[in-house]
Amino acid sequence: MSPLLSTTDLRVAFPVGGGLFSKPKLVRAVDGISLDVHAGETLAVVGESGCGKTTLGRTLAMLQRPTSGSITFDDARLDQLGPRDLRAARRSMQMIFQDPYASLNPRQRIAAIVAEPLLIAGVGAASVNIRVAELLDLVGLGAEAGARLPRAFSGGQRQRIGIARALAASPKLIICDEPLSALDVSIQAQIVNLLVRLQRQFGLTYVFISHDLAVVRQMASRVAVMYLGVIVELADVDALFARPRHPYTTALLSAVPTLAVRNQPAAKPLLVAGDPPSPLNRPAGCRFHPRCWLRKQLDNPSRCTSEEPKLVGPDTQRVACHFSEEAAMQPRTGANEPAAAGLS
Ligand SMILES: Nc1ncnc2c1ncn2[C@@H]1O[C@H](COP(=O)(O)OP(=O)(O)O)[C@@H](O)[C@H]1O
Ligand SMILES: [Mg+2]
């Protein structure tokens, strides 16, 4: 079966700066991503703040045009569609945003917010009202919520409104960009449960951008680990958590105490030194090499600085590291580096 969504060598570069006498520089936010998303699965995207997750998500949803590369959704080449066809195709793919405060118009009543995608799709007024009531029920708010304004609702409730709006046009794919990170921990679990229930009920496919690896482990079928605009590891969730093969993934996992590997002494987190480098100025060779704990333990790591590793391996676990065998062998105990890899 062909994947629901597929990209090849997707790139998004933003020109920044530049003036009368200088050319703008390029921020290569997404720098060559090829991936497939299969119908019914949840593909998680993880990685530090600034690595390009939001840009990738917005580009998959075609809210952002790619600079180059292809996006195929439901057998249509989105990057080649004109505005009208694109609008139609985009109904089948919706986005849920991080900030449920910023993403709802404060002056619009909830019913109007949820109805918007239906009206755009040309659904008649009478059916719209019925459908909006149905959707508000579905997300656990109740139809009477429709008459109120966003300010009457808490963060979790607003995220439910965002989910109702995303569901309105019966999409196949929902791209969730850190949908939990603005919510209280106690509310997060409820939203996770809602998303899981809706996925089962409607056979939805999710691209789930998150920095919460515990939630990712619970929800995802596969995980893409991003670093500076590329995917460095793409694996089935069980394989990734049992035996991460990229030194960056290993470091991310070891920073989460609750994910400590069984049968291993409570390991010190494997730390990653320094801030992620800027996408304006990416390191030669492997982009992770300046911060890589493994490279420092190798006898001859010259390939790390001279050759960019490709994402290779079986479909169950592909990894972009010249020394992925060595990485997988390492016990997850800490090299003594000054700063931990923060995920946000
Ligand atoms: N519209 C834009 N113009 C210029 N740079 C941008 C724009 N959007 C994102 N970026 C840059 O692209 C990189 C990736 O950003 P983003 O996709 O938001 O990452 P993440 O969601 O992983 O935090 C960052 O360096 C960010 O500053
Ligand atoms: Mg983001």
Mutational test site, ligand 1, from 10, 14, 31, 176, max ligand atoms within 8 Å of CB:
14
CB-ligand 1 contact for 205 (6 Å cutoff): no
CB-ligand 1 contact for 59 (6 Å cutoff): no
CA 162/CA 126 separation, integer angstroms: 22
Instruction: Read off the tokens for 123.
Output: 């659904």
| Sheet of 25-37, strands arranged across | 25-37, 5-16, 68-73, 76-77
Take atom 26 of ligand 1 and give the residue whose Cα is closest.
50
CB atoms within 10 A of CB 92: 15
Please name which of 311, 173, 285 lies closest in space to residue 232, comparing C-alpha atoms.
311
Take atom 21 of ligand 1 and give the residue whose Cα is closest.
54
pLDDT reported for residue 58: 97
> Which atom from ligand 1 is nearest to the alpha carbon of 279?
25
pLDDT reported for residue 279: 80
Mutational test site, ligand 1, from 27, 59, 177, 275, max ligand atoms within 8 Å of CB:
27
Contact 330, 267 (CB under 8 A): no
Take atom 11 of ligand 1 and give the residue whose Cα is closest.
29
> Which atom from ligand 1 is nearest to the alpha carbon of 48?
22
pLDDT < 70 stretches in the chain: 257-274, 330-344
CB-ligand 1 contact for 52 (6 Å cutoff): yes
CA 65/CA 52 separation, integer angstroms: 14
pLDDT reported for residue 257: 67
CA 72/CA 39 separation, integer angstroms: 13
Distance 195 CA to ligand 1 centre (A): 26
| DSSP 8-state class, residue 223 | E
CB-ligand 1 contact for 54 (6 Å cutoff): yes
Contact 161, 97 (CB under 8 A): no
> Which atom from ligand 1 is nearest to the alpha carbon of 209?
21
Q: Which ligand is located closest to the Cα atom of residue 178?
A: 2
DSSP letters spanning 35-89:
EEE-TT-EEEEE--TTSSHHHHHHHHTTSS--SEEEEEETTEEGGG--HHHHHHH
Backbone angles phi, psi at 308, to 5 degrees: -75, 125
Take atom 14 of ligand 1 and give the residue whose Cα is closest.
52
Mutational test site, ligand 1, from 11, 28, 54, 211, max ligand atoms within 8 Å of CB:
54
Residue 328 backbone zone (phi > 0: left; psi -120 to 50: alpha; other: beta): alpha
CB atoms within 10 A of CB 208: 26
Report strand pairing: 173-177 vs 93-96. Answer: parallel
Q: How many CA atoms lie within 13 A of 97 on its CB side?
A: 13
pLDDT reported for residue 13: 96
CA 333/CA 241 separation, integer angstroms: 15
Instruction: Read off the tokens for 332.
Output: 């997850």
Contact 332, 263 (CB under 8 A): no
Measured CA distances, 82 to 77, 85, 159, 177, 211 (Å): 10, 6, 31, 26, 34
CA 171/CA 80 separation, integer angstroms: 21
